Amino acid sequence: MNGAGFSNELSAEMRALLLRVEEELGPLPDPTLLPPEEGRAQSERSNQRNNVNLPALARTRDIIVAANTDLGSQDCRMRVLVPHDAGAGAVLFVHGGGFAFCSPETHERCARVLANEIRLPVLVPDYRLAPEHPFPAGLHDVVACLRAAFAATAEAGVSTGPLIIAGDSAGANLALAAVMHEERAGRSLPSGMLLFYGAFGADFTTESYGQFAEGPGLTRGKMQRYWNWYCPDEDARRNPLVAPLHADDLVLRALPPLYLLAAGIDPLLSDTLLFADRLKAVGRNDPLAVVPGVTHGFLQNTNELAAAREALVAAGEAARGMIRGS
């Protein structure tokens, strides 16, 4: 990994957005220092501003993916977002939020943009959250939803076809871990994966954790608390289903095609760069895009950031290429 180009310089539009958010919402407490339910409610409220001017879709609905006692999942609500002229297949989009916050509602605009760019229905699971439900509860819910996506039905407005799995931040971790889980189980794998600024490891001494320890936005302290909620046993964090950077070479070689996206000003930037290095070391050539001047979570701001819209256009192009190659 070469982090020599790390820069703290915000782009003009990112700087302007952060100032607008501060003016609109005022100073907010660190949600990881609040009781989880209060932090969750604050996250839902603060994300409302990101979910306006929603892109038009053909239809939306919520379905329930039934609990699977053998897997260990529970009933899981899944939002189905179907674009106009949708093709056969679907995208399973796993929202981020530090394994503890956010929902299909907080990520709906981002998911709608993705649906329109890929021209496939997007399915967003409302998986169980830490700390009330630490690892592996959320992962098992996501795996159950992945299996449900493969068994797509007309009732959900989805036709069986190629499947892409995507996720941002902690959702990228869960998406990747779900595919590793299914590869280990010998089950069907998606045609490709879109992983946006993922939390792939719990090493808080990486270069980006050092450079961006105090943000802006996401901080090292917040990530340490998220990890303590999700997997408090530090020894267990060497499990690749917890921290995918610990996956062995054989597992990495077996993964479907990936598209990696990172934010240039993000404590998690090194996670993506280290993961990209691991992939290259086993002979893969998965594309990597690092968007300079933007902070962690910038894809939530497609209503205001050209960089976010452009990044999802590129991700959509990558996904369509994966589908053509499947």
Distance CA 33, CA 20 (A): 24
Helices assigned H by DSSP within 48-187: 108-118, 137-150, 170-184
Confidence band of 30 (pLDDT split at 50, 70, 90): very high
Determine contact, residues 109/47, Cβ cutoff 8 Å. no
Buried b (16+ CB within 10 A) or exposed e, 146-177: bbbbeebeeebbbeebbbbbbbbbbbbbbbbb
**CATH of the domain spanning 56-325:** 3.40.50.1820
Distance of CA 23 to the CA centre of its chain: 27
| In the chain, domain spans | 56-325
Confidence band of 5 (pLDDT split at 50, 70, 90): low
Distance CA 196, CA 173 (A): 9
pLDDT of residue 69: 96
| Mean pLDDT for the stretch of residues 272-289 | 98
The crossing angle, in degrees rounded to 10, of helices 170-184 and 137-150 is 70
| Mean pLDDT for the stretch of residues 213-219 | 97
Give Cα separations from 200 to 36, 66, 95, 160, 319 (angstroms): 23, 28, 15, 30, 21
| Catalytic sites, residue numbers | 169
Question: Please, which residues have CB within 8 angstroms of residue 18's CB and are 6 or more apart in sequence?
Answer: 10, 216, 217, 295
101-159 tens-digit pLDDT: 999 999 999 999 999 999 999 999 999 999 999 999 999 999 999 999 998 776 677 88
33-76 tens-digit pLDDT: 999 999 999 999 999 999 999 999 999 999 999 999 999 999 99
Please tell me what DSSP assigns to residue 235.
Answer: G
Express as a percent the part of the chain with pLDDT over 90. 94
pLDDT of residue 254: 97
Distance CA 158, CA 164 (A): 13
Confidence band of 1 (pLDDT split at 50, 70, 90): very low
- 112: which 2 tokens? 């709608």
CA pseudo-torsion sign 21, 25, 27, 30: negative
Confidence band of 3 (pLDDT split at 50, 70, 90): very low
Return the amino acid letter for 35.
P
Return the amino acid letter for 82.
V
Distance CA 93, CA 104 (A): 9
Straight-line distance from the first to the last Cα atom of the chain, in angstroms, rounded to the nearest whole number = 30
pLDDT of residue 2: 41
